[in-house]
Amino acid sequence: MTEQFIFAVTEMSQVAEVRRQVVALASKLGFNPTEVGKAALVATEAATNLAKHAVQGEVLIRLLEDQDRSGIEILALDKGPGMVNVAQSLRDGYSTAGSPGTGMGAMRRLARSFDLHSDPKGTALLAEVWSGRACEGRSPDSMDVGVVSRAKRNEVVCGDGWGAASFTGRVLLLVVDGLGHGLGAATAAQEAIRIFRSNLQHSPARIVESAHAALRSTRGAVLGVAEIDLSQKLVRYAGVGNVSGVIVSDGSSRHLVSTNGTVGQDVRKVQEFSYPFPTDAVLVLHSDGLTSHWNLSNYPGLLRKAPGLIAGILYRDYQRGSDDVTVVAARAASVRQ
C-alpha cells in the first residue's frame, strides 16, 4: 500500500497521538487484541525514545500488505547524537527513557521484523508488526523494498507517487513526480501509478510509453520505471525527466540514464537501458525533492541494512524541504538473511 503517515515527535505529549493512530490503523486492518497491543507498544517505545533523545524526531507509519496479511511499518528517525552503545541499548529490559516498553530490546522481541542504524548523524529504527501467523520464510529470490514519500510542507496532498510489484525473481518499481505541487500534481502521479499497475507484464519502456499516452489529460509528470531481474542480475530502466536512479554496491555507485522531457507532454523517444546489478547491490530511485549529492559510503554498515532504513536516512539527511519528496530503495532479501 502507498499510504504513509508522518508525525513530528519533539516532546512527550506527541507520543500519545502516535500510539492512538497506530492502534486505530491496527484495528482497521483486523489485528486481534494481542497484535494491536504489540503494535501500540512498539509505536509508543519508538516515539518515546524520540521525545527523550532526538534533536529532530519523526515517526513514519506505513501500511503493508503481503498476500492475505496486513502489517504496519514503524520508522523512527532522529538527527543525533546517535547511540553510545548500540548493543547495550538493544538488550531486553534496558531503557534510558523510562518508557513502558522497557527499551528497544522489547521492540525487537515484539516486532516481526526489526532493524536499526545509529551513528553520530543520528539513529534510524525500523520495525514491522503483522497480523496473522508468521510466514514460513522468505524466498531466496524475493526483494525487500523501503519507501518514504511525503508532501511538500503545508500541502494537503503529495504530488509524488510510487509503485512496487514483486514476482519470482523480478521486481518492478516506479517513482513519479507530477509537475508542480498540490492536487494537479497528485492527479498526474496517481494516473501514472494506475498505468503502472495495469502494465506489470510489460517492460519499463513500454510502461513509460503507456503513461505518456494516458497523462496527456493531466499536467504531466517526470518518472522512472525500473525492473530488477535477479536471475540475470540486471536492472532495466526507462526514465523521463529528473527522477534519479542509482545502483549502489560496495562503496561504488552507478547513475541510471533518464532522457529529457515530460511524460504526457513532450517525450521524443523512450529509451531503456540495462545495468549490472550485483548480489549485494541496492537500487535507489527518488524524486528531485531529494538532493543528488548523497553518498551511502558516509554511513558505514548502512548498505546491508533494511532498505526502509536506507530510504529513511536519505530522506532525513537530504530532503530539500521545499518540495514533495519520494525515496524508494530495493535490494535482494537474501542479502540480510
Q: What is the dihedral of CA 33, 34, 36, 40, to 10 degrees?
A: 130
CA distance 216 to 90: 52
CA distance 55 to 77: 10
pLDDT at 141: 58
pLDDT tens by residue, 209-219: 999 999 999 99
CA distance 199 to 267: 19
What mean pLDDT do residues 35-44 have? Answer: 95
pLDDT tens by residue, 319-336: 998 899 999 999 987 665
Q: Which three cell numbers, joined as nine digits, stand for 46?
A: 519508538
Length of the chain: 337
Q: Which three cell numbers, joined as nine digits, stand for 73?
A: 511499518
Q: How confident is the model at residue 97 (pLDDT cuts 50, 70, 90)?
A: very low
- Which residue's C-alpha cell is 497480523? 131
Amino acid at 157: V
What mean pLDDT do residues 81-110 have? Answer: 63
3-state secondary structure the chain: CCCEEEEECCCCHHHHHHHHHHHHHHHHCCCCHHHHHHHHHHHHHHHHHHHHHCCCCEEEEEEEEECCEEEEEEEEEECCCCCCCHHHHCCCCCCCCCCCCCCHHHHHHHCCEEEEEEECCEEEEEEEEECCCCCCCCCCCCEEEEEEEECCCCCCCCCEEEEEEEECCEEEEEEEEECCCHHHHHHHHHHHHHHHHHCCCCCHHHHHHHHHHHHHHCCCEEEEEEEEECCCCEEEEEEECCCEEEEEECCEEEECCCECCEECCECCCCCCEEEECCCCCEEEEECCCECCCCCHHHCCCHHHCCHHHHHHHHHHHHECCCCCEEEEEEEEHHHHC
What mean pLDDT do residues 43-59 have? Answer: 90
pLDDT at 337: 46
CB 238 within 8 A of CB 205: yes
As a whole number, the mean pLDDT across the chain is 89
**Residue 85 reports pLDDT greater than 60:** no
Q: How confident is the model at residue 99 (pLDDT cuts 50, 70, 90)?
A: very low
What mean pLDDT do residues 275-291 have? Answer: 96
CA distance 5 to 19: 12
pLDDT at 8: 93
Q: Which three cell numbers, joined as nine digits, stand for 251?
A: 562503496
